[in-house]
Amino acid sequence: MRFSHRGFLYGPFLFVVFVALAVCVYWWLTANAVTAYLDASNGHDIAPGVTLRFADKHIAGFPFRVDAVLDNAEIDVTTSQGPASWKAEHFAVHALTYGPSQAVYEAAGSQTLRWTGLDGQNHVWTFVPALLRASSYTQGSALARFDLVAEAVRSSELNADQFQFHIRRNPQHDRFDIIVNAYGLHLSPLLQAGFGDTITKLSLDASAAPATPLGGLMGGKADWRASLEGWRAHGGLFTLNALEVDWNDLKAQASGTLALDAQHRPDGTLTVNLDGVQSLAANLAKLGLMQGPDNGLAPAFLMAAQAANAQIQLSADIGFKNGTISVAGQPAGIARPLY
């Protein structure tokens, strides 16, 4: 059999040209859709109560990615206490034009967080990370997993060698699994709270159930406060499976469950095991913090240790009830509404 027909000569070449042209057209259409979305979103809500602003943008990534690079990007969130915002000197989103619904986010340069605390005061935190990267994975129209890693965070209030946050919707159970890890946290006196200036390690393993009432929030369709209220109304429960903190001479382990009461305040009990309670008195004296009830967790743990004659180790419950935080039954502070 002879293969002298021109189709066998030009066919593969034309096929390659067709595929390349299709890739170019598809990337162009996708890039233009992203451009139009960003232009329409600038200064407007991208989700209920969430506003995006940026000074300039650049689209790149041809042919298999779409990279959106934003300068002076800012995300504003409406809260019950007041406005909160995050501003990044440079922010980028990277997504493939094919395959699963995944995206990678990067922030560089100076980062500024502004928020109104539960006490009604305005707060500002400016920091510079060596690396600040996140990724997301969506199933359908809802977020199924989000991961964030920050390394070498530097600021006047706090330095951190590494911080990790992971949340995913559990495929076998109606809940979200939450993992937090932090290493090498160096705190200013304002943040030491009587426990010391260095958190060598912090690890948290927790879950929030049920996940279904939070679907609107994860899909960017509902205000976070309305979603949390729906979660609370459906018996929402935050389960702390394990918390481990190595904070200077103090080592702590905790577990327990928390819900939200009708006034949106934490309600429940955490059981805490402490090793190194002898360090609390010295740290409180160093910072000039008052001892006694209603002065915070560190003074409350010290009171509980003195009452139990615990020299090194202590086991005590932290209770949250009717807006009051207590340690071993003694008041330690106020739990304010979350929204």
pLDDT in tens, 1-13: 454 555 556 667 6
Predicted confidence at residue 1, as pLDDT, reads 47
Q: What is the pLDDT of residue 4?
A: 53
Nearest Cα neighbor of 32 from 52, 54, 55, 62 is 62
Angle, CA 143 vertex, CA 141 and CA 148 arms, to 5° = 150
pLDDT tens track for 153-195: 999 999 999 999 999 999 999 999 999 999 999 999 989 999 9
Closest CA to 162 of 203, 109, 126: 203
CA 250-253-257 angle, to 5 degrees, is 140
Count the Cβ atoms, other than its own, within 10 Å of residue 260: 22
Which of 23-32, 136-145, 146-155 bottoms out in mean pLDDT, i.e. has the lowest?
Answer: 23-32
Q: Phi-psi bin for 235: left (phi > 0), alpha (psi -120 to 50), beta?
A: left
Mean pLDDT score of the chain, rounded to an integer? 93
| pLDDT of residue 22 exceeding 80 | no
Contact between residue 232 and residue 259 where contact means Cβ atoms under 8 Å apart = yes
Q: Rounded to 5 degrees, what angle do the CA atoms 330, 310, 273 make?
A: 70
Q: Which helix (H) or strand (E) holds 223?
A: none
